[in-house]
Homo-oligomer: A and B are copies of this chain.
Amino acid sequence: MSTKIPVCILGATGTVGQKFVRLLASHPWFEVAAVAASSASAGRRYGDVVRWREQVELPPGIAGLTIRECAPPLPGAVAFSALDAEVAGPIEQAFAAAGAFVVTNTRTHRMEPDVPLLIPEANADHLVLIDRQRTERGWSGAILANPNCSTAALALALAPLHRAFGVEKLFVSTMQAVSGAGYPGVPSLDILGNVVPHIGGEEEKIERESRKILGVLGPAGVEPAAFPVSAHTNRVAVVDGHLETVSVGFRRRVAPEEAMAALREFRGSPCVAELPSSPNPPIELDSRADRPQPRLDLERGGGMAVTVGRVRPCPVLDLRMVLLGHNTIRGAAGQAVQIAELLVADGRLGRRP
Contact = CB atoms under 8 A, between A and B. Distances in A.
A272 B211 CA distance: 48
Given A184-B184, A239-B295, A316 B195 contact: no
Contact of A296 (B53, B178, B295, B320): B53
Given A169-B316, A175-B175, A197-B293, 5 more contacts: A53-B296, A56-B299, A192-B237, A198-B290, A200-B289
B194 A294 contact: yes
B316 A170 contact: yes
Interface of A: 15, 53, 55-56, 169-171, 173, 175, 178-179, 183-198, 200, 207, 228-230, 232, 234, 236-239, 243, 245, 247, 289-296, 298-299, 309-310, 314-317, 320, 322
Number of copies: 4
B237 A197 contact: no
Count chain B CB atoms within 10 A of each CB in A171, A183, A186 and give the residue with the most.
Answer: A171
Nearest to A193: B193
Given A247-B230, A316-B228, A198 B55 contact: no
A195 to B, nearest CB: 5
20 contacts: A171-B247, A183-B187, A184-B184, A187-B187, A188-B190, A188-B191, A188-B237, A192-B193, A193-B237, A193-B239, A193-B295, A194-B294, A195-B293, A195-B294, A197-B309, A198-B290, A200-B289, A232-B247, A232-B320, A236-B236
A230 B191 contact: no
B295 A207 contact: no
Contacts of A56: 299
Contact of A189 (B179, B190, B289, B309): B179
A239 B196 contact: no
B295 A194 contact: yes
A171 B173 CA distance: 10
B292 A197 contact: yes
A309 B197 CA distance: 9
Contact of A185 (B187, B194, B299): B187
